Structure 1
Amino acid sequence: MKSMTYGEARQIARDLAKDTLENYWSGSYPVDPVAIARSAGIEVYSSQLGVDTWGMLVGGDNSVTMYLDKDQPLNRMRFSAAHELGHYMTHTASDERLADYVKVIPAGKGYVDKRSDAGRGNLFEVIANEYAGALLMPEQELRRMAKADDSNISIARAFRVSVDAVAYRRKILAL
């Protein structure tokens, strides 16, 4: 099996996010990852998930369910929803670059997004995080805002994400 670089993983994530926006997004800001997930056929629930879990995605017999920790701040919950949606889209994409890496999420299996650093650096987590940033802060609009010299605070407010998420995405995109 061919190995994938982080750069390749990030590009795949951006492409998946762009496809998702083209196929499921209403076009109005802020992007609503829960509405997109539901449109894609994912059941979404808000629950208490414990002290180390932001969200999870669990396969079913003929469905996938997303759980979001209800005790997280709203902007973080939006990122968690987008992150879990990234896992789902990674596993359902017909992208040839992913053919050697992904399979259908089996019933009772899936992903758990930890608050701790557990799993950091894993390619699927890199893809899900990059996907979330690209979905919630579409590149073209972020570039427009950066060119207009909007502050990270005003950009975060417009996209309803954290200032840290804006700063990281701007760094990744060299803005």
Structure 2
Amino acid sequence: MPRMAARYMLSEHWDGNLPVDPFAIARAANVVVEHDPEMERRELGRFELIDGRPHIYTNSTEPESRMRFVVANELGHFALKHGRRFVDTSRQFAPVQLDEIENQANRFALELLIPGFAVNILIEKQNVTDFIRLTEAFAVSQLAMKLRLKKLGWIY
């Protein structure tokens, strides 16, 4: 389900450029994205439906690189229809997630930020095989890239 939802979101709202811009995709899907200066320090992001309109709030103290994943994750809560409100802390972004809803949102985020077909094109057609170059091309953490490459069968 996360894979199909992410593919749909990409097909409808992505401009085709790397790195994938989750902020632009969210806005194109009519999701309001903004920093919340009142957000508690331990919170990274929040998804809420307010008067039927989806909103994603981010913690302005976090680096841009982390916010990309947070926005993609919160967009996953929206796309997967997980409910009216979710607050995420760093615990929700652990590589091993026991909470199935957070697991789905994390998988959605990886699928959105690192589309499998784009990885395959870079590796097979453009011969980009250096791990760091791939990580930079998609503007994701090394952990996110490692998880995605494993899922795609490029590493074990």
Q: Compute the TM-score of the two structures, normalised by the length of structure 1.
A: 0.78
- 1:67 alignment partner in structure 2: 57
Check the 8 A contact 1:54/1:69 in 2, yes or no: yes
Distance 1:80 1:44 in 2: 11
Q: CA deviation at 1:118?
A: 8.7
Shift of 1:117: 5.2
Is 2:45–2:57's contact at 8 Å kept on the other side of the alignment?
Answer: yes
- Size of the aligned set, in residue pairs, is 149
The list of structure 1 runs, each at least 4 consecutive aligned residues, that deviate by more than 6 angstroms after superposition, is: none
> Structure 2 vs 1, CA of residues 24 and 118 (structure 1 numbering), >3 Å: closer, same or farther?
closer
Which one of 110, 114, 119 corresponds to residue 133 of structure 1? Answer: 110
Q: CA deviation at 1:152?
A: 2.1
Shift of 1:146: 3.8
Q: Does 1:54 align with 2:54?
A: no
Match of 2:24 in 1: 35
For structure 1, the residue ranges without an aligned partner over 5 or more in a row are 1-11, 92-101
Determine the C-alpha separation between the residues in 2 that align with 1:134 and 1:118: 15
Percent of pairs with identical residues: 31
The yes-or-no answer on 1:155 pairing with 2:130 is no
**How much does 1:149 deviate?**
5.0
How far off its partner does 1:75 sit? 1.3
Q: Please report the TM-score for the alignment, with normalisation by the length of structure 2.
A: 0.87
SS of 1:161's partner is coil
Contact 2:128 2:134 in 1 (8 A): no
